Structure 1
């Protein structure tokens, strides 16, 4: 673990990780050769490169670079890390795990070298029964902190500078599988998983061997695409650095519900960043996956919008003097 302490709001933390343990066909086989190039030396390489590049710079918020063990055996390293953050009361506002980001070639030989998947859950893993009741009442299944984090990544890292398309997948992870972001989600930290566009299962979780049909098995470096890994690192860098330079996600977002009206009053708590310029309210139709409209409201902590909360979804984000915007906060109904 390496910590690049923020110069303005060091208490605000963003985490990026990969895992350095690997396995073969039998998860309990601790003696056979398990190179683990794609799963997950590729993710560890991304983390190390980010640390190398960013170490010479000073972000406003804190960035933590981590490589963890025990992922294949049950997410033990990430669980320990997330629990340590939670026990310390750390303000982790975003976490990414890079897991299986080493190849752009699928099992059928097709290549997609300019796409990376980003898995982001809908209903929060940490949701309490009380929170579930509110969500069922007002909606928000597509507006978890993880989904807002994923939208932020696509806005900042899907561009010509990275050369990559970020394909957001509205799932916590792949079918019946998981990664090191899950312990963070379970502790109410926004988190998401980067993974290559289509996996080749002959080159992960396999004994190193040649099959009877000539198929080569094993997670070897020769099956990795290092240009692809570099572009994934650029996506991570763009998202992490922008998160760390932008204001933090607004807190205390509320929608007034005491009176029945066809307008909507939103309120939130002002952030402590010294370069905070103000706030924007965003909204979209309930059937739209992305925020489509923006209302600049200035350096205030409440605003009334002439639209019914019954018909659209609202969010709030902060803006600093450099024009950088925070992830969106989805407001709760006021008690």
Structure 2
């Protein structure tokens, strides 16, 4: 089906009138993303999880001087791995520690330096645009303040850190338009401190963060409910954005956007990547910030208005989370290596890798997206032109729309390199709408819902 409009393009700032009689979603398959998926290694992920477990405990308050035990040894090993990856790609990663002394908190009463490991792969076209993959370094047992007992943290969350390191190994072989960040964040169990430190520093430095993919427990397939399944995963994504103003809230009441925050449309994007590039994986987009009453390291980014989601297993086993190593009434407790399915962890790592690559190869999501069409048969969308840096990278734009009770985008129309387009005989009241940027080689950004409710930032 040919979805390209018959109308001619007058110029960059022209208005396009689009006939939608045969509209449907069209997508350009990208062979490079299939190659990236195939390169992710379950064997390397297994080796990295084993190494992280070997440090005994990675509790935030644990030993920092030893070379073999505690959080200090773990973060030095992680940095060394990122340094090796960078050396292999000719210094393509900027690897550094990021830290802050935390004290006076309920779970960190005395001064402790919370230290994360960050590796940045700079983009070639728009280096101040970032997509981030993260996992958290620290582990714990039943007592969150017990920093001496063995806390292997094999799945929670050596699996997420190992996945982040593996994604860096694979993606560092390529060059991208935007920047990709691989982050091993500290202090999660004690209060999401690593994520908070990174998010606040990114905001201070003016990073244009378009996506945070937080990976927290991506290796368990055997649930507490008895279900064993390696074919599904969950993507948690909050609704209305946390930096919404009162004026934005009043506007949203009349224009919608409750289910179209940038985090939700990021989750939809990742879900599409799973359908197209990850064999035998179906992702569930969960309309919630995180599991019921619980939290993860994407939240500090969401708190500042950055799009962020949590990617994780579908079937959790609570006997293996936050537990002392023991056996009671025939039940084995503890987060040990035998509870991790490495092929499954590789599958979710590959999902991260193709999503990061696709977004980094694509142009920045459109900015200043607006919509009009009240009391009209037609709907018009407009957006800001591409930045000077990205002008040559952008081929054009695609408008998406769906019924208001549909979870995913149902229809689309490529409209060319314009900044305004009108959908003829598509009534604004009956659908939700959005716009995606398209690169010269067909990579698309996440879809941006009009107005402040859906904005990915400038």
TM-score normalised over the length of structure 2: 0.70
Which residue number corresponds to residue 427 of structure 2? 308
Structure of greater Rg: 2
CA contact under 8 A between 1:158 and 1:235: conserved in structure 2? no
CA contact under 8 A between 1:159 and 1:165: conserved in structure 2? no
Which residue number corresponds to residue 377 of structure 2? 262
Q: Distance in 2 between matches of 1:317 and 1:63?
A: 20
Note the alpha carbon deviations across 1:106-139, whole angstroms, 9 max, x for none.
0143211121111111122222222211111111
Which residue number corresponds to residue 79 of structure 2? none
Which of 318, 340, 343 is 1:224 aligned to? Answer: 340
Q: Distance in 1 between matches of 2:226 and 2:399?
A: 45
Which residue number corresponds to residue 251 of structure 2? 134
1:17 alignment partner, SS class: strand
1:253-332 maps to which residues of 2 (within 5 A)?
Answer: 253-256=369-372, 260-272=375-387, 273=390, 274-306=392-424, 307-332=426-451
CA contact under 8 A between 1:162 and 1:234: conserved in structure 2? no
Establish whether residue 72 from structure 1 lines up as the match of residue 189 from structure 2.
yes
Q: Distance in 1 between matches of 2:294 and 2:244?
A: 20
Establish whether residue 147 from structure 1 lines up as the match of residue 261 from structure 2.
no
CA contact under 8 A between 1:118 and 1:194: conserved in structure 2? yes
Which of 288, 297, 320 is 1:171 aligned to? Answer: 288
Note the alpha carbon deviations across 1:154-189, whole angstroms, 9 max, x for none.
112234544321111111100000100011111111
1:179-194 maps to which residues of 2 (within 5 A)?
Answer: 179-194=296-311
Which residue number corresponds to residue 235 of structure 1? 351
CA contact under 8 A between 2:277 and 2:354: conserved in structure 1? no
Which one is further off, 146-155 or 272-281? 272-281
Which residue number corresponds to residue 125 of structure 1? 242
Establish whether residue 214 from structure 1 lines up as the match of residue 330 from structure 2.
yes
Q: 1:246 to 1:162 in 2, by over 3 A?
A: farther
CA RMSD of aligned residues (A): 1.5
Establish whether residue 247 from structure 1 lines up as the match of residue 366 from structure 2.
no
1:54-69 maps to which residues of 2 (within 5 A)?
Answer: 54-69=171-186
Q: CA deviation at 1:45?
A: 0.4
Structure 1, unmatched stretches of 5+, are none
Q: CA deviation at 1:195?
A: 1.1
Q: CA deviation at 1:142?
A: 0.9
Q: 1:234 to 1:163 in 2, by over 3 A?
A: farther
Note the alpha carbon deviations across 1:78-128, whole angstroms, 9 max, x for none.
000000001111100001110011111101432111211111111222222
Which residue number corresponds to residue 114 of structure 2? none
CA contact under 8 A between 1:13 and 1:62: conserved in structure 2? yes
CA contact under 8 A between 1:162 and 1:235: conserved in structure 2? no
TM-score normalised over the length of structure 1: 0.95
CA contact under 8 A between 2:365 and 2:436: conserved in structure 1? yes
Q: Distance in 1 between matches of 2:272 and 2:293?
A: 29
Q: Distance in 1 between matches of 2:339 and 2:268?
A: 31
Establish whether residue 89 from structure 1 lines up as the match of residue 200 from structure 2.
no
1:152 alignment partner, SS class: helix
